[in-house]
């Protein structure tokens, strides 16, 4: 079992000053979710950042306290910083979000191509 701990931080609906160590992103998400509960924040979704590899994870919150992984996004350092800056300034920008989604789609396509090469070989 992998005992490597990653560092996670809540970045949406607000940027937390706290960071949490966890061995899996779900455990990191759980710690961030408990921070939301402790601060009595009511929201439909939240986003955490894996500081080690700049992965963003979006979670929907059901009425019952259950988390659902929406999607995993791996983006570069500059895009993460830009996203964080936009969230600080105005809650995000549709053009930037669209641009990030295009980058993610491009990366997903490249990953599929690489995976298909390994599967067929």
- Single residue among 57, 74, 91 that ends a domain in this structure: 74
Residue 57 domain boundaries: 1-74
Q: pTM for this one?
A: 0.51
Q: What is the pLDDT of residue 100?
A: 73
**Phi-psi region at 91: left, alpha or beta (left = phi > 0; alpha = psi -120 to 50):** left
- Does 51 share its domain with 86? no
The one-digit pLDDT tens for each residue of the chain (121 residues) are 557 888 999 998 888 889 999 998 889 889 998 898 898 888 888 999 998 888 888 888 876 555 555 555 555 556 666 666 655 454 445 566 677 777 787 888 877 777 777 765 4
Q: 57 with 69: CB under 8 angstroms?
A: yes
Q: Do 33 and 13 share a structural domain?
A: yes
One domain, residues 68 and 84: no
Q: 65 and 93 share a domain?
A: no
Domain match, 42 and 89 both = no
Q: How many domains does the chain have?
A: 2
Residue 47 near residue 67 (C-beta atoms within 8 A): no
pLDDT at 20: 92
Quick: pLDDT tens for 77-86: 566 666 666 5
59 and 79 fall within a common domain? no
């Amino acid at each position: 079992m992998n005992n490597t701990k990653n560092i996670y931080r809540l970045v949406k609906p607000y940027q937390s000053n706290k960071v949490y160590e966890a061995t899996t992103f779900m455990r990191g998400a759980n710690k961030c979710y408990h921070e939301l509960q402790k601060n009595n924040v009511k929201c439909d979704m939240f986003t955490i950042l894996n500081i080690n590899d700049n992965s963003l994870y979006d979670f929907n919150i059901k009425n019952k306290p259950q988390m659902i992984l929406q999607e995993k996004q791996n983006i570069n350092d500059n895009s993460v910083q830009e996203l964080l800056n936009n969230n600080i300034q105005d809650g995000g920008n549709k053009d930037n979000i669209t641009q990030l989604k295009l980058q993610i789609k491009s990366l997903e396509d490249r990953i599929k191509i690489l995976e298909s090469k390994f599967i067929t070989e």
